[in-house]
Amino acid sequence: MVEDAIIYACSLGLLACGINLIYTCTGTFNFSHGCMSTWGLYVMFSGVAILQVNLYCLFPVAFLFGALLGIICYICINGPLLRRQAKGITLMISTLGYDLILYCGIQIYADFLTYAFKLYPRLISMKMYDFMVGEMRAATVVAITLTATIVIALYIFMFKTRLGIAIRAISETPSLTTLCGVRPSKLHLTAWILGGGLACIGGAMISLAITGTPVMGWLLLPSMFAASILGGVNSVLGGIMGGVIIGLTEFLGSYSLASLLGSWILSYKPVISLIVMTITLIVLPTGLVGIKETRLVKKLKSKKFV
């Protein structure tokens, strides 16, 4: 259970990171993130069940497929609306429409797998394709390693490269970014490519901890947005932090309650995320990254110890 919780938490961190990246750059809450993550599951399942490829070799493929979904969303929907200076609510609702298109595609593809390959793609357990590394599941090692690698890569990208710094700047002063000679459209497209890729990788990885279904992404949306808000919607790396906290709390908390109250409580697992999200919005609207130094910390820093 602990290993599943770690995999779940790391995956949720990547999913929330993708949401925050797109929102930071474009001001769009991407409600299609759920179905994007579900496509990550089906990319990995197809490679393993049909092509007999090692499931961990399919993570780059999942990222590229997610990037393609992000490109399509930006070129066909988000980009034209941003150029027309559409409001945030319009941008958000447009992603709901794209989400329904992706969901229909998932259902059609699931039927194709059923009739063409005699598979059962509506209830997928990727755990059966995993293996052990010593006394740990390979998925646990990969989840921790991949998440840490992505955190380092994103930090370097966001703080050390011109493009990353421009993405951070456009969320605060879009006009200044334009004056500096950086095209907003290039930044928006980059955000959708990275955000879509992270969504698919997160969906592929989380299927190693939970059962995959065509509605997996929809069921995970409350947890994704709770993680995003807890970490701070304007912080890309804060999303990963929020995802890890929400993931561990939700997974371990629900199973701890199940041991006391019975397995029926597991159906209400998302309630934990919703409670955390509500408390965060009331107490700390800017998320964990918005926490300022307390008076006690400031007082301790100001003291001179001889």
267 is in which domain, residue-wise? 2-302
DSSP lists the bridge partners of residue 124 as: 212
Confidence of residue 74 (pLDDT cuts 50, 70, 90): very high
Q: What is the CATH number of the domain that holds 158?
A: 1.10.3470
pTM here? Answer: 0.91
Give the Å distances, CA to CA, from 72 to 41, 101, 151, 181, 188.
19, 12, 26, 25, 12
So what's the pLDDT on residue 262?
85
CB of 216 closer than 8 Å to CB of 125: no
Burial of 179 per CB tally in 10 Å (0-12, 13-18, 19+) = exposed
Write down the pLDDT at residue 300.
Answer: 45
Q: What confidence tens digit (pLDDT) does each residue in 103-113 have?
A: 999 999 999 99
Mean pLDDT of 5-32: 95
Please tell me which residue, 175 or 67, carries the higher pLDDT value. 67
The average pLDDT across 10-14 equals: 96
Total domains in the fold of the chain:
1
Residue type, 219: L
The string of pLDDT tens digits covering residues 199-218 is 999 999 999 999 999 999 99
Share of the chain above pLDDT 90, in %: 67
Tell me: pLDDT of 303 over 80: no
Tell me what pLDDT residue 179 has: 62
pLDDT at 203: 96
Task: Characterize 201-217 residue by residue with b for buried, 16 or more Cβ atoms within 10 angstroms of its Cβ, and e for exposed.
Answer: bbbbbbbbbbebbbebb
Q: What is the model's pLDDT at position 180? A: 60
Beta-strand ranges (E) seen in the chain are 132-133, 136-137
Query: Tens digit of pLDDT for each residue in 110-137?
Result: 999 999 999 999 999 999 999 988 889 9
Q: What is residue 178's predicted lDDT score, i.e. its pLDDT?
A: 64
Residue 174: predicted pLDDT: 66
The DSSP line for 201-265 is HHHHHHTTTS-B-TTHHHHHHHHHHHHHHHH-TT-HHHHHHHHHHHHHHHHHHHHHHHHHH-GGG
Does 152 have pLDDT greater than 90?
Answer: yes
Q: Give residue 266's pLDDT.
A: 82
